[in-house]
Copies of this chain bind each other. A is one copy, B any other.
Amino acid sequence: MKQGYSKPKALLFDVFGTLVDWRGSLIRQLRAFGEARGLDQVDWPGLADAWRGRYAPSMDEVRSGRRAWTVLDDLHRESLLALLPKFGLEQRLEEEEIEGLVRGWHRLDPWPDVSGGLARLHERFLLAPLSNGNVALMANLKRHAKLPWDCILGAELARHYKPDPEVYLTAMALLRLAPQEVMMVAAHNDDLAQAQALGMQTAFVPRPTEHGPNQTTDLAADGAWDFVVASTEELADRLCDNGEVDLLRG
């Protein structure tokens, strides 16, 4: 292992894609909603993908300063409303149904390794999400997916969206930890690039089906991340067992 390497004290996790399968969860939720409502001509997987397709552009409006701070729940809602006509749903949903679909982002299911991996990591490290999801969304998701967070950090506390540096810096200030004491864990290279630029440790957990079977992005590490692991269980193997950290396998 590297000379002088020190394990982090806290691990911060990206959530959408890294820990929870937003696409599979949304498609299941939307299909169940469609069946219950007798809406059987709707392309629900297409709606899930189109909804997420508006995610980055909606945050760009805030990142650029063109729009005042707006939480992700509200961006999700606006994006869904904008897509309803294209999917034949305009004026066919009640207000509380729309609200229920938006709240689907609070009930996403974790990837199969997450429960066991995070439980082991939690025995040794302080764990928190560092997500673009707002605090209420993350708190509800914590309850739904039983994520062992010690606190909830992220975009809303900085009023900036990742990868703006303010999100990472605010989290470290709240934890009162130096960058090298904190590890960012994500399935997205751009998230890790910003964390590393700020001096944080990094771990890449690729999720090659986050965007479905034809995913083309983030299939492999494109930076010199401290760890590259196939799952949170493997990250626990590397960080928790026997007190030694095997960086060479990364």
Give the complex CA separation of A36 and B176 in angstroms.
28
A107-115, A136-144, A213-221: which lies at the interface: A136-144
* A148-193 at interface with B (beta carbon < 8 Å): 149-152, 156-157, 174-177
Q: Are A135 and B156 in contact (CB under 8 A)?
A: no
Neighbouring B residues of A135 by C-beta, 8 Å: 151, 174-175
B73 and A136 contact, CB distance less than 8 A: no
Does chain B have a CB within 8 A of A126?
A: yes
0 or 1 for each of A121-151: is its CB under 8 Å from B? (1 = yes) = 0000010100000111011101100000111
CB-CB under 8 A from A73, the residues of chain B are 176
Q: Which residues of B contact A174 (CB under 8 A)?
A: 134-136, 156
Do A175 and B136 form a contact, CB below 8 Å, given A142-B151, A143-B150, A150-B143?
yes
Report B-chain residues with C-beta under 8 Å of the C-beta of A126.
139-140, 143
Residues on B with C-beta less than 8 A from A136 are 174-177
Judge whether B151 and A139 touch: CB under 8 Å.
yes
Asked whether B150 lies within 8 Å of A139 as measured between CB atoms, the reply is yes
Contacts A134-B176, A139-B175 known; list 17 others, CB within 8 Å: A71-B176, A73-B176, A126-B139, A126-B140, A126-B143, A135-B174, A135-B175, A136-B174, A136-B176, A139-B151, A142-B150, A142-B151, A143-B150, A149-B151, A151-B151, A152-B152, A156-B174
A152 and B154 alpha carbons, distance in the complex (Å): 12
The complex places the Cα of A156 from the Cα of B143 at a distance, in Å, of: 23
Q: What is the CA–CA distance of A174 and B134 in the complex, to the nearest angstrom?
A: 8
